[in-house]
Structure 1
């Protein structure tokens, strides 16, 4: 294996994918075949394997669902507590909240291109949460300084380096609409049923997906020439049935029990090793 020394007589290896977006696997995808089991989040996950020319033994594929969805589905996220942590004043909690969560350089992330524009225009009416990719988190101090020097209020930064205290699902719970680019967050946000805006980018290293598993077919777009506030306001009230339909096309179960399934499987494998 590439990173893990695995004694197959004494242990078992399990691959858990990092997101289920459209960007192709970094590095050499065939390395994934070295894992004994693969936790599969849904049909889209399988489609990514297919598009990568990966074929796994049937008994190695374990249908789990998206492990990250459970707390959201089970109502464990306290909106007011999250807003308290972010520092959102009571007076602004009645405003709509826009989540901007771009990817990084690999994927032609749009943080450098649009962050200042969004801070300036969106905060005229709404709260704005900016959650940069982990590899772009070093840009946050400069963006905070720029906002302060320009008198911009109602902008908050979600720390992607502190996963336990500042998980993406926390941002989902307090937001009303998402803006992203090629990040896998586009698909994770489907669990909310809330509207999605794609900041257009020219990145070409994407998987080929059927329309039923391609969020680009149902999301709104921002190409850079429009007023972002007009795009946001024009999509805040939409029929969410198309988002929930795609959610179930892309992910298994969505029942808040994915972690339970994973734990049950791991315990079963551990029991076999003890025999």
Structure 2
């Protein structure tokens, strides 16, 4: 019963195997909110440079007969997140199914590294119907093999397509000016982006119970403004008027996370994979881990030794956090070393490498 809906999806899909594959048809599997779409957008742009292709979007939370037919007749199929019905879909040999995965690098354990035996068996079925899994580095191949229950020969360390964004011609000054106007911030202020992750342990999700905003602003407010970007689930744990906690910008609804990374001067985070992307930009990161012992013992855990690997200082309370920022003691020497463990190449050509691979040696049956 657990996988009944996924099996139904698979059976509907399999009805359309009677139709021939269209070698120029590409389908992207997304949810209706189009979350985690960045990699897909960059792959689409790269294919558009190569010729005339037909692009379709299969919305995994909407049932559409036409979408099933498009999926079944596509030459190239891309995912950027989990989609369990893949386990029950019998793709034609000519189709190429590629998992791009939305998160950069590897840090927090996920998937088959932490799931039940039943879920690992499901991941194994999905991996058998997946031709390629794209990662950012050969160094993390073993972790992804475990997380996806997929053989290493299907893993291709070609890069993170959406990271090509940072190599485009952005006017960062204009982006920051627009941001400051929108939120009423003086243009001379530096931006500290605080992006905490979600915890399964509920009591640690209200970050204002641990970050003293008044103390923070009193010490740092002349030079910096705090921009808070919350995981959607965290807001469920707020109580009362959070604006009374002190002055900050809530940019949780800001459309482009990558734009925020470009205009921010410092990142404060904890265990979020956002730090992997920010580290690429060679800017300071501070790890505010007020619940470190609980997270280490009760949550998912890490693929690396957290304390010896993260590219920045680790602090446990507001006073330590403020002190590190005041003294600019960011341990930036650790940034390049960390980035090298997560990326083989960073040059704005990840999308090109993926599409080159698929159109050449990764293209089954010509």
Specify the TM-score bucket, using the shorter chain as the normaliser: 0.7 to 0.9
Counterpart residue number, 1:250: 342
**Residue 194 (structure 2) pairs with residue 194 (structure 1):** no
**Residue 136 (structure 2) pairs with residue 41 (structure 1):** yes
**Residue 317 (structure 2) pairs with residue 224 (structure 1):** yes
CA distance in 2: counterparts of 1:73 and 1:181, whole angstroms: 26
**CA distance 1:83–1:130, change in 2 (3 Å):** farther
Counterpart residue number, 1:180: 269
Counterpart residue number, 1:162: none
1:116-158 CA distances to partner (integer Å, 9 max, x unpaired)?
7354333341211111123335568x78x522x46x4442323
Identify the match of residue 135 of structure 1 among 233, 245, 265.
233
**CA distance 1:268–1:206, change in 2 (3 Å):** same
Secondary structure, aligned partner of 1:253: coil
Secondary structure, aligned partner of 2:206: helix
Residue 61 of structure 1: how far off its partner (Å): 2.2
CA distance in 2: counterparts of 1:123 and 1:75, whole angstroms: 33
Flag the structure with more relative contact order, 1 or 2, with Cα contacts below 8 A and sequence separation at least 6.
Answer: 1
Aligned residues: 260
Identify the match of residue 94 of structure 1 among 188, 198, 204.
188
CA distance in 1: counterparts of 2:159 and 2:257, whole angstroms: 17
Contact 1:97 1:177 in 2 (8 A): yes
Contact 1:130 1:158 in 2 (8 A): yes
CA distance in 2: counterparts of 1:155 and 1:170, whole angstroms: 15
Runs (5+) with no aligned partner, structure 2: 1-82
Identify the match of residue 353 of structure 2 among 244, 261, 275.
261
CA distance in 2: counterparts of 1:8 and 1:106, whole angstroms: 40
Identify the match of residue 209 of structure 1 among 289, 295, 304.
304
Contact 2:286 2:312 in 1 (8 A): yes
Contact 2:164 2:351 in 1 (8 A): yes
Residue 80 of structure 1: how far off its partner (Å): 2.8
Larger Rg: 2
**CA distance 1:94–1:107, change in 2 (3 Å):** farther
**CA distance 1:81–1:14, change in 2 (3 Å):** same
CA distance in 2: counterparts of 1:39 and 1:48, whole angstroms: 13
* Structure 1 length-normalised TM: 0.77
Secondary structure, aligned partner of 2:188: coil
Secondary structure, aligned partner of 1:207: coil
CA distance in 1: counterparts of 2:215 and 2:271, whole angstroms: 22
Counterpart residue number, 1:146: 242
Contact 2:159 2:344 in 1 (8 A): yes
**CA distance 1:255–1:109, change in 2 (3 Å):** farther
Residue 99 of structure 1: how far off its partner (Å): 0.9
Residue 110 of structure 1: how far off its partner (Å): 5.1
Runs (5+) with no aligned partner, structure 1: 160-164
